[in-house]
Structure 1
Amino acid sequence: MMIEAAVFDMDGLMIDSQPYWQDAQLAVFPPLGVTITRQDTIDTTGMRVDELVQRCYERSPWDSVSREVVCDRIVDRVIERVRAHKPAMPGLNQAIDVCQQAGLKLAVASSSPMTLIQATIDALDLNDVFEVIVSGAQLRYSKPHPEVYLNAGDALGVQPQRCLALEDSFIGLLAAKAAQMKTIVIPETAAANQNHFVIADRQLTSLQELTVDLLNSF
C-alpha cells in the first residue's frame, strides 16, 4: 500500500460544526452593524475565522471592539456548542478504526484555532488517537494553501505523497491536492453534486463508506 498516514480535517469532516459556525456569525456580526445572511456563512465554509472577520470588516467596518475580540467571540460560541452537543459525524469512530486496522499513522490538520481542536478532541474522547494535531490558525496562509497539510506530514515523518487527506470542503480539498496528498472528499449532501469535487481521488457520502479495501486501493 502506498498510503502510510491519514490526515483528517475537523470541521464538517469529523464534527458537524458548520451550523455552529454559521449560528455564531449570525449572532456576533449583526450587533456590530454587519448585515449577514445564512447563505453568506455557507459560502465561506472552510475559511479561517480571522479571514471571515476581516472580510466582514472590510465590507462594513466597526470600531467598538477589535477584530481579535470578534474572532474570539465566534470561536468561544462554537466551542460551547461542541462541548454541549459532541457532534461527531456518522462513521467517525468506524473510520478511525479502519485507518488503524490498515496500520496508518493518524493526524488532524484543521484551520480552526488549537483551542477548538482540543475542545473537540476532548468532547469526542479521542485524546489517544491522533499522533499529530496541527492548526492552521497562526500560519501565514490558510487553506487552500497547503502549509497546514505539509506541516502535518512533516510532523508525522511521512512524505505528503504517502498521506491520505480526508476533507469536506472544496477549500480544504485544494489545500490537500496542493500538498500532493491523496484525497477523499465527503461534502455535505447539499454540495455533493458540485462539479469541482471531481479533483478528489475519491468522493464518498459518509465516513461510514471508508473501508480497508478502499485504503488499499490507493
Structure 2
Amino acid sequence: MTIKYVIFDMDGVLVDSEPFWAESQIETLAQYGVHITEPDCEKYTRGVRVDELATIWCEMFNLAIQSTALRNQIVDTVCQKISANAQPMDGVYELLDFLKEKHIPVALATSSDRQVIKAVFDKLNFWDYFPIQCTAADEELAKPHPAVYLTAVKALNAKVKDCMIIEDSVTGLIAAKAANVRTFIVNEKFNDERFAIADERMASLRDVLAKLKMEL
C-alpha cells in the first residue's frame, strides 16, 4: 500500500498537550466542588470533542453550570497553558520535514476547535506545514465518528487507500479505522489491547519516521 498523504491528529500527536487538557479539566471542575483525576480524564474524555467533554462532566456530576460555559472555561485554560508551556512531540519536525522533502501532502484532523489549533500552531510554528486544518468542531458528529477524517481526505483531494492517519487515542483510532484508512497509533502505551485494531503501533514519531523511510 503506497502512502501518498498523511493525516495527523493534534493533541498527543503533534503537541504534548494531553496533560494540559487533564489539568484544565481538573482545575475547572474543582471550582465547582468536583474532584477528578488524570486517569478519569484519560478514561472518559481523551480524544473527544470539547463540547462533548463538557457535557460528559455536567451530566456525570449534575453540575449547575451550562455545558457551553464549562467548555469555554476549559478551552481558555488549555490555551493559556499551551501558549505558556507547550512542547512538540519528539520527532515531529523531523517527520514533517521528511514528508515535505518527499512531497507528501499532510492535513490536520483534530477534535480540538480552532481556538486551540491557533494556540498550538502559534506556539510551535506549524502553520507552514499544515495548509489543511480540519476540526471535528465543524462536523455534525465527532470522533469516534469518521467525519473529520473523511473531510480531511476530501480536502486533500485524495483517495482513502492512498492515505495514512497518525493517532494516539482509542477514540481517534476508532474514527480513523471507521474511515477505512491505514492507521498508526503513536502512544507510550502502544501495546495496550485497546489499540489492537491499529495497522501499526509505535512509541514515538521517530518510529513512524523510521518506518516511512523504509516505505517511501
TM-score, length-scaled by structure 2 = 0.93
The equivalent of 1:202 in structure 2 is 200
Q: Please tell me whether the aligned partners of residues 102 and 212 of structure 1 are also in contact (alpha carbons under 8 angstroms).
A: no
1:115 aligns to what SS in structure 2?
helix
The equivalent of 2:212 in structure 1 is 214
Q: Please tell me whether the aligned partners of residues 191 and 201 of structure 2 are also in contact (alpha carbons under 8 angstroms).
A: no
The equivalent of 2:176 in structure 1 is 176
Query: Are 1:53 and 2:54 matched, yes or no?
Result: yes
Q: Please tell me whether the aligned partners of residues 3 and 164 of structure 1 are also in contact (alpha carbons under 8 angstroms).
A: yes
**Cα drift, residue 217 of structure 1:** 3.4
For 2:125 and 2:160, how far apart are their aligned partners in 1? 27
| Alignment map for 1:1-218 (pairs within 5 Å) | 2-43=2-43, 44-63=45-64, 65-187=65-187, 189=188, 191-211=189-209, 214=212, 217=215
For 1:54 and 1:213, how far apart are their aligned partners in 2? 39
Q: Please tell me whether the aligned partners of residues 105 and 131 of structure 1 are also in contact (alpha carbons under 8 angstroms).
A: no
- 1:149-202, Cα deviation, whole Å (9 max, x unpaired): 000111111112211100111111111111111111101x2x322112121111
**Cα drift, residue 215 of structure 1:** 5.9
Q: Please tell me whether the aligned partners of residues 98 and 212 of structure 1 are also in contact (alpha carbons under 8 angstroms).
A: no
For 2:139 and 2:184, how far apart are their aligned partners in 1? 24
Aligned letter for 2:200? R
Cα distance change on mapping 1:52 and 1:211 into 2, 3 Å: closer
Aligned letter for 1:154? K
Cα distance change on mapping 1:212 and 1:56 into 2, 3 Å: closer
Unaligned runs of 5+ residues in structure 1 are none
**Cα drift, residue 55 of structure 1:** 1.4
Give me the identity figure in percent. 34
- 1:37-82, Cα deviation, whole Å (9 max, x unpaired): 222112121122211211111122233x421111011111111111
Cα RMSD for the two superposed structures: 1.7
Q: Please tell me whether the aligned partners of residues 33 and 62 of structure 1 are also in contact (alpha carbons under 8 angstroms).
A: no
Unaligned runs of 5+ residues in structure 2 are none
For 1:215 and 1:157, how far apart are their aligned partners in 2? 24
For 2:86 and 2:23, how far apart are their aligned partners in 1? 16
2:196 aligns to what SS in structure 1?
helix
TM-score, length-scaled by structure 1 = 0.92
- 1:96-141, Cα deviation, whole Å (9 max, x unpaired): 0122222211111000011101211111112111121011023221
